[in-house]
Chains A and B, each alone.
Chain A
Amino acid sequence: MNPAGVNPVRRTALAVGLVLALLILVFATRETSRDRMTTHLVGAVAPAVVGATLDGSPWDLDDQRGRWVIVNFFSTTCVPCIREHPELVAFAAAHAQADDVRLVTVAFDDSPSAVVAFFAEHGGEWPVLTVDTGRIAVDWGVVGVPESYLVTPSGHVAAKVIGGVEMEELDDLLARAVAAVS
């Protein structure tokens, strides 16, 4: 016991404890890597999506300015992609008449023939890019498929979905994004 009546060991332990508690608080309330993954690119200008579709026609995301676009990254060998595909087909069909949103699929690490066969079997009439898509995936920071992005008519990313999507989820995302910008 020192003259001030405080044990120096206790004082040090208290200080260390306080610092540790502060650090835990800071790290616990920090944005997690999962949060960063789901918000990555959101609000930013959408990176380029340029290439040729399965029938050889050129396709450029910039040409879609003025429209809402869903950019979907997929692979024919990924099970969640196969599961989400009917939902995308239904979503595309539901919006075909109104033409208020368009869909583009970027096939990652896949062969054009496999993609052609996949769409022939599972349906889907929207543009699909298959060649040199690795650069597109890196530009978008895609770490795994499926990943989907909602792009605003001004060319900004409004939302990002990691994993398979459902039609209702996409409709909800679109409705909220439309409400937010109008």
Chain B
Amino acid sequence: MRIGDRSLRLTWLLVVVVVVGSLVGSELAERPPLTNADRVHDLAGDFACPVCQGQSLGESDVPIARTIRTTIRTMVDRGRTDAEIRSMLVARFGENIDYTPRGDGLVGLVWVLPVLVGGTAMAGVVLSIRRWQGRSTGGSAPGRPVVLGIVAVVVVLAGVLVARSAGERLAGDTLSGDIRSSTRTLLADAGVASPDEAISLYSRVLEIQPSNVEALAYRGWSRWRAGDEAHGRSDLDEAVAVDPTYPDVRVFRASQRHADGDHAGAAEDLVALDGLMAPPIVGDLLEASRLRQRIATGLAASGDLLVALELLDSGLGARPDAADLLAERGWLLVATRSPELVGRGLVNLDEALALDPLDPYGLAYRAVVLATVADRPGDAAVDLARFAGLTGQPADLVDLLVVVGLLEPQPEDGP
């Protein structure tokens, strides 16, 4: 019996060592987040949304949760540690939102009580078994095969636990480690990639640097254009939240909002853009696409003429010699048919053509006004003749002139 008792004790000791060792080992071997995006995801999942019931910051889509997520992204990218971010969140919103509270003070009971309860329960079970053994006939210990079976089960479970926490491998990982490109290289590659590849490359940039505004803006724009509108809008909003002074995203979101019928929102983005030091290429893009004029037309059509004029004036503030904007301003005023505003509109059209005598919009709009409102067909004919001499006449202007009867419909091309 002496040998049997020792063997039993050794078996129990082995069980305890394996259980405790696997728990400690799995905790120590827990893989740290691979990317900054993982860190943001983990951190957002560790905190409760301050105004939601049962949702983490990562799950909630209320404004304050989105704002806090943006703050976490920015802090992660700026190299702040998890401890600093956790401490900031607890300082701002209280320790109640922390799903993994500190282990000191009364909060420590959260950790201590379950262990105490578990330990007490285990001690109770052991005590009961011993009493039961004492009462049983012969008082013999459980058979060795049973104990060995229990040990085997515990060892297997511990092995699975350790394997799950330490042995995860991502698809594409190699034995020697992952080879990563820099975010700059990835962004450059995305610029010349197909839309699907570009979205994938921008996502890789965001894994490394979750608050990279360029990747957010361009992925949002690419997604939106590819038809993934909800994610596209979300990326664009996130990019503006991360950096409201990034010019490209203002143009992208203005275009998206305009297409979605939110002309006022689109105008806000362009007015914000006018207050930024945008590179010349952004201005060229706007001029070529006539986005500002199209938004102004949308606003005027929905009864927001004042906002439409403010949008054009904001553009003229940034580009005072923009004949196309002056022409659009004049056209919107003329379209009101209010005598006073028509007069002002005509002045704007004259100013536009003084700046650029061959501006197609100025010529076509003024020709229409002179012929149909001001009853000056001779002057209208002069503008029309100049317009007819232009190469590459905008199709929308040709259609307009045909509709008002100043141009003959173009014959259809033969087969």
Residues on A facing B (Cβ under 8 Å): 23, 26-27, 30, 33, 36-37, 40, 56, 108-109, 111-113, 131-132, 134-135, 137-144
Contacts of A108 in B (CB 8 A): 63-64
Q: Which residue of A lies closest to B95 (CB)?
A: A36
Contacts of B68 in A (CB 8 A): 138
Among A30, A131, A139, the residue within 8 A (CB) of B92 is A139
Among B63, B93, B106, B268, the residue within 8 A (CB) of A109 is B63
Q: Is the CB of A37 within 8 A of B94?
A: yes
Given contacts A26-B106, A143-B64, A144-B51, 19 further A-B contacts (CB under 8 A): A27-B106, A33-B96, A109-B67, A112-B268, A113-B265, A113-B267, A113-B307, A131-B244, A132-B244, A134-B71, A134-B241, A135-B71, A137-B64, A137-B67, A138-B67, A142-B64, A143-B51, A143-B93, A144-B64
Q: Which residue of B lies closest to A16 (CB)?
A: B120
Q: Is the CB of B265 within 8 A of A134?
A: no
Q: Is the CB of A113 within 8 A of B96?
A: no
* B269 nearest CB across to chain A (Å): 10
Tell me whether B388 is interfacial, beta carbon within 8 Å: no
A6-B265 Cα distance, complex, nearest whole Å: 78
Pair count A-B, CB < 8 A = 56
* A102 nearest CB across to chain B (Å): 25
Q: Is the CB of B265 within 8 A of A111?
A: yes
Q: Which residue of B lies closest to A52 (CB)?
A: B275
Within 8 A of A (CB), among B33-87: 50-51, 63-64, 66-68, 70-71
A128-B268 Cα distance, complex, nearest whole Å: 16
Within 8 A of A (CB), among B73-118: 91-94, 96, 106, 109
Q: 3 nearest interchain CB pairs?
A: A109-B63, A134-B67, A141-B92
A113-B304 Cα distance, complex, nearest whole Å: 12
* A23 nearest CB across to chain B (Å): 8
* A163 nearest CB across to chain B (Å): 13
With A37-B94, A40-B94, A113-B307 in contact, do A134 and B268 touch (Cβ < 8 Å)? no
Contacts of B275 in A (CB 8 A): 56
Contacts of A142 in B (CB 8 A): 64
Tell me whether B213 is interfacial, beta carbon within 8 Å: no
A27-B268 Cα distance, complex, nearest whole Å: 50
Most buried by A among B50, B68, B71, B92: B92
Within 8 A of A (CB), among B295-317: 307
Tell me whether B147 is interfacial, beta carbon within 8 Å: no
* B301 nearest CB across to chain A (Å): 17
Q: Which residue of A lies closest to B91 (CB)?
A: A141
Contacts of A138 in B (CB 8 A): 64, 67-68, 71, 92
Number of residues of chain B lying within 8 A (CB) of chain A: 25
Contacts of A134 in B (CB 8 A): 63, 66-67, 70-71, 241
* A14 nearest CB across to chain B (Å): 16
Contacts of A137 in B (CB 8 A): 64, 67
With A26-B106, A143-B64 in contact, do A33 and B94 touch (Cβ < 8 Å)? yes
* A36 nearest CB across to chain B (Å): 5
Q: Which residue of B lies closest to A37 (CB)?
A: B94
Contacts of A26 in B (CB 8 A): 106
Contacts of A135 in B (CB 8 A): 67, 71
Contacts of A109 in B (CB 8 A): 63-64, 67
Tell me whether B272 is interfacial, beta carbon within 8 Å: yes
Q: Is the CB of B93 within 8 A of A141?
A: yes
Tell me whether B264 is interfacial, beta carbon within 8 Å: yes
Q: Jot down 25 A-B pairs with beta carbons below 8 A, ordered by A.
A: A23-B109, A26-B106, A27-B106, A33-B94, A33-B96, A40-B94, A56-B275, A109-B63, A109-B64, A109-B67, A113-B264, A113-B267, A113-B268, A131-B272, A132-B244, A134-B66, A134-B70, A134-B71, A134-B241, A135-B71, A138-B64, A138-B71, A138-B92, A139-B92, A143-B93
* A143 nearest CB across to chain B (Å): 4
Q: Is the CB of B71 within 8 A of A111?
A: no
Q: Is the CB of A36 within 8 A of B71?
A: no
* B48 nearest CB across to chain A (Å): 11
A23-B113 Cα distance, complex, nearest whole Å: 11
* B196 nearest CB across to chain A (Å): 31
* A107 nearest CB across to chain B (Å): 11
* A57 nearest CB across to chain B (Å): 13
A113-B96 Cα distance, complex, nearest whole Å: 36
* B117 nearest CB across to chain A (Å): 11
Q: Which residue of A lies closest to B262 (CB)?
A: A111
Contacts of B51 in A (CB 8 A): 143-144
Q: Which residue of B lies closest to A113 (CB)?
A: B264
A132-B74 Cα distance, complex, nearest whole Å: 14
